[in-house]
Amino acid sequence: MSKADHNFLGAGWAFPVTFSRGNHQLNLSAYEVNINESIDIILQTKRGERSMDSQFGSGLHQCVFKKMDETLKGEIAEAISYALLYYEPRITVIEVDVQFRDVRGGVVEILLTYVYNLTNTRHNYVFPFYLYEGTNLII
């Protein structure tokens, strides 16, 4: 794809917000990186956290400390699909695959398969999600 073909993907502030060393300018991200950062922001934001849009976010934090079973996989997949449908209009989610990688450690791996709406180009994004916090947690 040429640079002109990428313009619809957008550009914006890099996440996390950082500044360049030399000229202290705000770092920006563009194209595929910008979409991946947007997905990351949506998945990490708790519902109600943003005062101007209390429904923004995925609500994944409500899954912390829940029993790791098939029901939880469905809840996670549904929450992600809904959040990305409403808050990331540049993509269409094809599949959300939720896997419990480390039950004792509370590690959930989420594999998103999506296409860019304008070009129908298929991409994947892996989001590690931890259901248990703390380092000395005994299960």
Three-state DSSP class for 35?
Answer: helix
Q: Note the CATH number of domain 3-130.
A: 3.10.450.40
Query: For the residues 38-54, what does the mean pLDDT come to?
Result: 89
| Domain range annotation of the chain | 3-130
Nearest alpha carbon to residue 75 among 131, 139, 133: 131
The CA distance from 118 to 92, in Å, is 10
pLDDT tens-digit map of 92-133: 999 999 999 888 888 889 999 999 887 777 778 777 676 555
pLDDT of residue 131: 54
Q: Categorize the per-residue pLDDT at 13 as very low, low, confident or very high, splitting at 50, 70 and 90.
A: low
Torsion of CA 129, 132, 136, 138, to 10 degrees: -130
Tell me: pLDDT of 42 over 80. Answer: yes
Highest mean predicted confidence (pLDDT) among 24-28, 64-68, 79-83? 79-83
Q: What is the CA radius of gyration of the chain?
A: 17
